[in-house]
Chains A and B, each alone.
Chain A
Amino acid sequence: MVNDVKIAGVGMTPFGRHRERTVREMFGDAAGEAFEDADVPRDAVEEVFFGNYMGEFAEQQGHQGPLAAEAAGVQAPATRIDSACASSGVAVRLGYEKVRSGLADVVLVGGGERMTNLSTPDGTEALSAAADALWEIRAGMTFPGAYSLMANRYFHEYGGSREDLAHIAVKNHDHAVDNELAQFQRAISVEEVLDAATICSPFGMFDCSPMSDGASAALLVSDEFAAEHNLDAPVRIRGAGQHSDNFALGDRASMCHTPAADRAAEMAFEDAGIGPDDIDVAEVHDCFTIAEVLALESLGLYEPGEAISAARNGETAIDGDLPVNLSGGLKAKGHPVGATGCGQISELTKLLRGDHVNSDAVEDATTGVTHNAGGTVASCVVHVLEVDG
């Protein structure tokens, strides 16, 4: 039995600095919004997959699967997913597979993270734990450092500059200006990006996504359930893919490509029966400016070495040929790491349905893709979404 998987409802708290809010409280809000959006009763849920990465660091709280289900008012098998920053993207994929295979008709997926109650150094150290504790962290590598290593290698192999990267930050801030769920609802200039304090060369502060608090949720249902309950669910997950890579950056065949994303994208497009040329809009994992470049190339939306100039040329802007990160991306919408992947699903669903603040820019779009990465892309999950014509 193979079901079509509909996204019956989505919910997302505003991402930003909400340092006194617990993950359980935020996920309760996001899930409640998803139930209301879907018009699905809580007792219909058969399984919960919940993404969370750093609960032990930030809240001294592990074992968050049943805690999340309780917060959502759901009594069902519940599992916490840790795949670093791809945690809730993986939760979405597991829910998708559960429904698609016919093992369940209704699955609640999502994630949550609390980060800003930690100091910047402590948050930096917590995030670093997603890298290799022996061979990377003990050399002093941080996550901005890891992506800086990738950026400098990219520049060496393909060219490009800090200014090219700055245009990515500027674009994503522009996209977030009217998004009430975004952490930074303000435009920035290329000059501001270039003049910002250096975090790890070549990155300044504006090349890096922020520490954020927030939660996201989605209700995935079978097409049969949607029809029986007369749900208004025009968006479906048409394909999904996930892959892994060698854990340490240095153990990869290349430091300026992301093979896990290549393979996840190939799987998702094969599952969907379409290709990159069919994509109208994308939400990709721009945890650092270079990450958007690597994502677009792995998705096959650009050839290797060519996405570096996409933002500068306006191609990925709201009025470009391929709008990327209309939500503001991780860069401006915010990056509560365990909530990010499902947050992309929530934002893209709204963009395709027509009820996102930036939907008018893609009113003819029928197909979109999300790309959610964990670590230095040792994990990656890709989803292809489609709206009824």
Chain B
Amino acid sequence: MSYDARDDGYDDFLDAVEDGEPYYLESPSGNGWLPPRNCDPETGETDLVEKPLPETGDVLTQTTTHVSGPTFADDAPYVVAVASFGPVNITGQMRGVDDVEIGQQVTLGIDQTETTGDRVIVFRPVE
């Protein structure tokens, strides 16, 4: 499957990463969330505001995927990681490193998948 229609919030976030101005949504309680959100799911607060995302994050966990679905068939094997960027955690694919360690500092970027050419969130190690 390839994604033709835009998804508000998600594609806006990817655009912002490409423009070098990634953001997250913060509630009055200080919780951070990725868009699209109408409310903080923990508190129900509705007045969320955009805040700049930290420039670097830390890898919390990772896995190398050898068996994928058809959408990533030509990408396998690839490394999926979850990294914390301040108050939000982001799931993406690692680029530019063979062995990923938990705690690795990374930057956020956008790349394209081999299989479909769709945009994908990627992490690169901090030099």
A residues touching B (Cβ–Cβ < 8 Å)? 120-122, 124-125, 128, 134-142, 144-145, 148-150, 152-153, 156, 197-202, 246, 248-251, 255
Contact = CB atoms under 8 A, between A and B. Distances in A.
Contact of A149 (B7, B9, B75, B80): B80
A142 B66 CA distance: 10
Given A140-B75, A152-B62, A199 B91 contact: no
Given A140-B78, A145-B80, A249-B82, 4 more contacts: A124-B67, A142-B65, A142-B69, A144-B67
Nearest to B121: A139
Contact of B63 (A120, A122, A148, A156): A148
Top 9 closest pairs, chain A to chain B, by CB? A125-B69, A250-B89, A148-B63, A153-B61, A134-B10, A201-B64, A140-B72, A149-B61, A139-B91
28 contacts: A120-B67, A124-B68, A125-B1, A125-B69, A128-B69, A134-B7, A135-B34, A135-B90, A136-B91, A138-B121, A139-B80, A139-B92, A139-B93, A140-B65, A140-B71, A140-B93, A140-B113, A144-B65, A144-B67, A152-B102, A156-B102, A200-B63, A201-B66, A250-B60, A250-B89, A255-B60, A255-B61, A255-B82
B82 A149 contact: yes
A323 B88 CA distance: 39
B70 interface: yes
Q: Which of A142, A144, A249 has the most CB of B within 10 A?
A: A142
Contacts of A156: 61, 102
A248 B91 CA distance: 9
Nearest to B118: A138
Contact of A201 (B60, B63, B82): B63
Interface residues of B, number: 38
B76 to A, nearest CB: 8
Contacts of B23: none
A141 B61 contact: no
A149 B71 contact: no
Contacts, number: 108
A121 B72 CA distance: 10
A54 to B, nearest CB: 13
B55 to A, nearest CB: 19
A124 B72 CA distance: 11
A201 B41 CA distance: 31
Contacts of B92: 139
B49 interface: no
Contacts of B68: 121, 124, 140, 142
B72 to A, nearest CB: 5
A147 B62 CA distance: 10
B73 interface: yes
A150 B3 CA distance: 28
Contact of B61 (A124, A136, A152, A198): A152
B120 interface: yes
A200 B67 contact: yes
A139 B72 CA distance: 9
Given A122-B70, A140-B120, A142-B68, A150 B61 contact: yes
Q: Which of A120, A125, A145, A199 has the most CB of B within 10 A?
A: A145
B73 A121 contact: yes
Given A135-B10, A249-B82, A250-B82, A149 B120 contact: no
Contacts of B41: 246, 251
A200 B91 contact: no
Interface in B97-126: 102, 113, 118, 120-121
Contacts of B1: 125
B33 A251 contact: yes
A138 B92 CA distance: 8
B127 to A, nearest CB: 23
B71 A125 contact: yes
Contacts of B90: 135, 250
Contacts of B71: 125, 137, 140
Contact of A153 (B60, B70, B75): B60
Contacts of B63: 145, 148-149, 152, 200-202
Contact of A249 (B62, B75, B91, B93): B91
B67 A141 contact: no
Q: Which of B67, B80, B91, B92 has the most CB of A within 10 A?
A: B91
A132 to B, nearest CB: 8
